[in-house]
Structure formats: structure tokens, C-alpha cells
Structure 1
Amino acid sequence: MAEEQIHVTKTEARAGVTPHVVRYVLAISLLLVVLAFAFVLGLFG
């Protein structure tokens, strides 16, 4: 017996929308890591 397939969009499957916060978290984290390495290497002090 073949089961009936149900097709839904990504938004319907998630029951909402995804915020684009991840890109900001990644950018800020990358900036902080670069600054931390700069301090460790003595570039700022």
C-alpha cells in the first residue's frame, strides 16, 4: 500500500520564519576572536 505524500513549504514545516540573527552572532564572534588574538600577540599593548 502506497502512502500519500504531503508536501509543505519550509515555512509551514517550521511553523514560522527564521530570524537572521545567526549572521550577526557569527560576525561579532569573529571580530572578538580577531581582537583577542591581536591582544595576545601584543599588537595593542
Structure 2
Amino acid sequence: MEAIDEEMLPAGSSFILDQVKEIIEDNRMELDEIQMYLEQAGGSL
């Protein structure tokens, strides 16, 4: 994944970028939980 140069973005974009990063992080944690649950149930993703 390419890094985004925040200086190239319009004003206010870094705030939106932070929000997006937070959402991705939350989803990643939920996926990890689902994967653990599936492994306990004997399956895998």
C-alpha cells in the first residue's frame, strides 16, 4: 500500500484520514475476534 503524502491533500483531509485509519483499525480488531471464534469452533477464515 502506498503511503499518502498529507501535504498533497486539501486542508482538513488529515482529519478525515485519521478517522478512516481509526475505522480500519476497529474493523481489523473485529476480524481478529471473528477469526479466534472460528478457530475455537474448528474452522478457519
**TM-score, structure 1 as length reference:** 0.51
Cα deviation, residue 22, structure 1? 1.1
Cα deviation, residue 31, structure 1? 0.7
Aligned mates of 1:41, 1:23 — CA distance in 2 = 27
Gaps of 5+ in 2: 1-11
Runs (4+) of structure 1 exceeding 3 A deviation are none
Gaps of 5+ in 1: 1-15
Q: Please tell me whether Structure 1 or Structure 2 has the larger radius of gyration of its CA atoms.
A: 1
Between 1 and 2, higher relative CO (CA 8 Å, sep ≥ 6) is seen in 2
**TM-score, structure 2 as length reference:** 0.51
> Which has a greater percent of helix?
2
Q: How many residues align?
A: 29
What amino acid sits opposite 2:42 in the alignment? G
Aligned mates of 1:43, 1:31 — CA distance in 2 = 14
% identical aligned pairs: 10
Q: Which residue of 2 aligns with 1:24?
A: 24
